[in-house]
Amino acid sequence: MEGYIKDWRQELESDVWLMPPLYHRIWQWLKYTANHKDKYIPMHDGSKMLVKRGQKLTSIRSIAEGVGWYERGVFKKPNPKTVQDVLNWLAKNGMITIDTSNRKYTLITIVNYNVYQANNSDKSNSKYTVSIQSLDTNNNDNNVNNDNKDIYIKSDSTNPTQ
């Protein structure tokens, strides 16, 4: 998997942050795996379905597998009912919408995905960061050598190591 997502610090003050860790883990997994651009997905019947930017075509069991973790060398994954409860909570809080009109898949849409993941919504791109870092660089490191010119070391002729 390639690329990145923007993650906003204000999430630390959100309701999902205050919930048990699995809520945030599922929320993050959905953001990481959502389509970053529109894409046609081939279906079992030979047709293709358009899955838009900010959407994820998945299943409850796939989410459970995706957010699993290792505990003492054993892979653990949440119960599908628990995952469904978390998704319902996210939907109730207006963070996602869930389309289960087809029993073979679940289409999850992250609400406001384009607002949070907009390409040019702020100055957090790498070119801006590099230019700011270049301006902030302190080039006074060479002055250390200049400061040492005024230091006189008294040598003791009886000690050959000085």
Crossing angle of helices 80-92/21-33, nearest 10°? 80
| Residue 94 token pair | 């207006």
Report the chain's C-alpha Rg in angstroms: 27
The gap between the terminal CA atoms of the chain, to the nearest Å, is 59
Tell me the C-alpha distance between 34 and 109, whole Å. Answer: 8
| Predicted confidence (pLDDT) per residue in 2-18, tens digit | 666 777 677 777 888 88
For residue 136, pLDDT beyond 50:
no
Q: Band the pLDDT of 129: cuts 50, 70, 90.
A: very low
What is the number of residues in the chain?
162
At 106 the three-state DSSP class reads: strand
pLDDT in tens, 79-127: 999 999 999 999 999 999 999 887 778 999 999 888 878 776 444 444 5
pTM score, whole prediction: 0.68
Contact between residue 63 and residue 79 where contact means Cβ atoms under 8 Å apart: no
SS3 49: strand
pLDDT bracket for residue 131 (50, 70, 90): very low
- Residue with the bigger pLDDT between 128 and 42: it is 42
Residues 6+ apart with CB under 8 A from 88: 98
CA atoms within 13 A on the CB side of 58: 25
